[in-house]
Amino acid sequence: MTAREVEALAARAARGKPGASRIEEIWDRIMDWFLGTHLAEAKRHLARLYAPKAPDDERFMSFRELQRLAGGAFQDRFSIVPQAFGFALEINFGGGLPAYHQQITVCSQEYLATTWNRLVGDVLDPGRAREDRQRLFPSA
């Protein structure tokens, strides 16, 4: 998220628009985590975490950057929690604010089922596997 986009969010907050006020409330709570340094960068990363269309890889990078920029006393507020098909990013803001929680799926259940079925089918039907090998590596 660019500095201009962060300014737009701040303007939306000033006009009472949805989405921006939550980020401002969280920012007011955590800005001290960054010890007066890299505040603009940290605020951009926070906004990216809450951007509705941000891809998972950008959210992950922003999460890691916020963690890196936060002071040592606040490192325990950040956690990566294993999930069934991926992991969740969590930030405990404290002070009664809802924690940030973003589940990131690394591998879907459908993909695993399809891949598993294909692999098991290859093992249970060795003739098909042999035909595939002959097709890929023809005899001379």
Stated pTM of the model: 0.67
CA–CA dist 4, 13 (Å, integer) = 14
Rounded CA-CA distance 139/41 in Å is: 61
Q: How far is CA 23 from CA 39, 48, 57, 84, in A?
A: 14, 10, 20, 29
pLDDT in tens, 52-108: 899 999 999 999 999 999 999 999 999 999 988 889 999 999 989 999 999 998 887
Burial of 58 (0-12, 13-18, 19+ CB in 10 A): middle
d(CA 71, CA 26): 17
Looking at the predicted structure, is the pLDDT value of residue 1 above 50?
no
pLDDT tens column, 4-51: 555 565 555 555 555 568 889 999 999 999 988 899 999 999 999 999
Domain locations along the chain: 3-105, 107-140
Homologous superfamily of domain range 3-105: Secreted effector protein SifA (3.30.2440.10)
Count of C-beta atoms within a 10 Å radius of residue 22: 13
